[in-house]
Amino acid sequence: MYGIDHYIGGVFSAGSGTRSGPVFNPSTGEEIYRCHYANRETVDAVAKVAVAAGRAWARQSHARRLQVIFKMRELVIGQTEALAKIIGLEHGKTIDDAKGEIGRAIEALEFATNAPQVTKGEYSINVGGGIDTFSIRQPVGVVGCIAPFNFPVMVPIMMGSMAVAVGNSVIVKPSERVPGATAFVSDLWKQAGLPDGVWNVVNGDAEVVDALLEHPSVPAISFVGSTRVGEYIYQKGCAHNKRVAAYTGGKNHMVVMPDADLEAAATAFVSAGYGSASQRCMAISLLVAVGDQTADRLRALIVPMVEKLRVGSYDDKTADFGPVVTAAAKATVETAIQRAVDEGAELVVDGRNAGAGLNGFYVGASLVDNVTADMQMWKEEIFGPVRGIMRVASLDDAIELVNAHEYGNGAVIFTRNGRSAQRFYMDVEAGMQGVNVPVPVPVGYHNFGGLRRSKFGDAHMFGPDAARFYTKMKTISQRWPEPDAEQERALSLAFPSND
């Protein structure tokens, strides 16, 4: 059984660490290989490599850097099938779902080709006294990218592509559950012509995260993952004077008004709620029906669709979604289902036995009705295929419910009334919202990110703001006086004026 190595300076290496962890195929429950874990010495070694490589890369022209980005896009497109199989093997998501993830990674690479445009500075002529003032953006240096298990290709590429395009070097710490995909991506960057040391990967757990957060040569950290970890990373990173962008948990509500196209809303809820075994931060978690009649009609439409959803191996073309990522995740989801029942909710569809006869970490599609705001089913993010129905009396009640939750990642409304839609997106405190759109993930040239405890830090690592996160601003004031100008030699202790 072989191990997944780190990628340091263009070479795969086991590093100096002695620890490793298992990587499972969630579809079968089998351990497929080991992942070598880095120690602090390995992180220090890769940081030195990244610093040296980044200095040279930052001096390259925009044209040179974009040649690599364009080539990387071509390679990812050409290797979509291979990447999808690796994602499916380690994560469990179906091949079609994995290809959708890769498509968004390609979109991120395409947007990164705009780096020269989105990093242009400003120039003001003769602001006073013959002085011109201008601003420039330069790379921050070495960027630490801490990625989650649920998007092992999309997130590292979305983080890394703009960081590389504007002249940084990167150190990626993928989830130790899905290290193979990032290793494959590393080889693609090398084929694309990225100089050795600009893209690096260190595998591991909390020890690696702490080493990156504390390392003086890593001034910026990007993170996608759970709220608990994201808050820790944000607080510790800031304590070490780093800029941090952390995207964390979500509990995304889908409000359905009585005037909505209920058949379209029901289909949207099932599609947006159960894909990828609901292991998405932007998955719809709860359907909030305005009025009992609306709820009853939606339930009648949704239940048959949920009952037909089929679980299966990542390479099973008949499966609607695959397993959850680990045995522990399966146990957590099943516990959440039982707790909802114990707290008084109605279990309408029970998917806990859907994987009977299969050896992997399967949980079938489950649906719970009559969820209330005092239940854990509403309070916690459940990373598994159990979704809920809530009932409220009015749009005001729906908005109040959404805003009462600690998370503000995404929220959507289904309605035919423009005024209801406008009230919703103006009053709801969620960073990404949809109107008759079930998964409001913006395209790559718009900013991605939630509000409240779904995001820590003001910066965005995706979209146009990514260029600002991965660069530092300098403002220069310059004057070129006439030769032998007498006023240049006159002593003045007064605060400079703009006259």
Q: Is 265 helix (H, G, I), strand (E, B) or coil?
A: helix
Tell me which of 35, 145, 238, 281 is the catalytic residue: 281
- Of the candidates 41, 261, 245, which has an alpha carbon nearest to the alpha carbon of residue 146? 245
Q: What is d(CA 365, CA 351) in angstroms, rounded to the nearest whole number?
A: 5
Whether residue 388 contacts residue 345, with contact meaning beta carbons closer than 8 Å, is answered with yes
Rg of the chain in Å (alpha carbons): 25
Q: Is 255 helix (H, G, I), strand (E, B) or coil?
A: strand
**Residue 423 phi, psi dihedral angles, 5° rounding:** -60, -40
DSSP state of 198: S
The amino acid sitting at 498 is: N
Residue with tokens 């953006």: 137
- Of the candidates 355, 310, 351, which has an alpha carbon nearest to the alpha carbon of residue 334? 351
Which residues, in sequence order, are CB contacts of 149 under 8 Å at separation 6+? 91, 175, 177, 178, 325
Residue with tokens 């290709």: 153
Q: Is 129 helix (H, G, I), strand (E, B) or coil?
A: coil
Answer yes or no: 281 catalytic: yes
Q: What is d(CA 477, CA 464) in angstroms, rounded to the nearest whole number?
A: 27
Terminal CA-to-CA distance of the chain, rounded, Å? Answer: 74
E strand spans, 342-431: 346-349, 366-369, 386-392, 407-408, 410-414
Q: Which residues pair with 386 in a beta bridge?
A: 366
Q: What is d(CA 72, CA 111) in angstroms, rounded to the nearest whole number?
A: 13
Which positions are annotated as active-site residues? Answer: 281
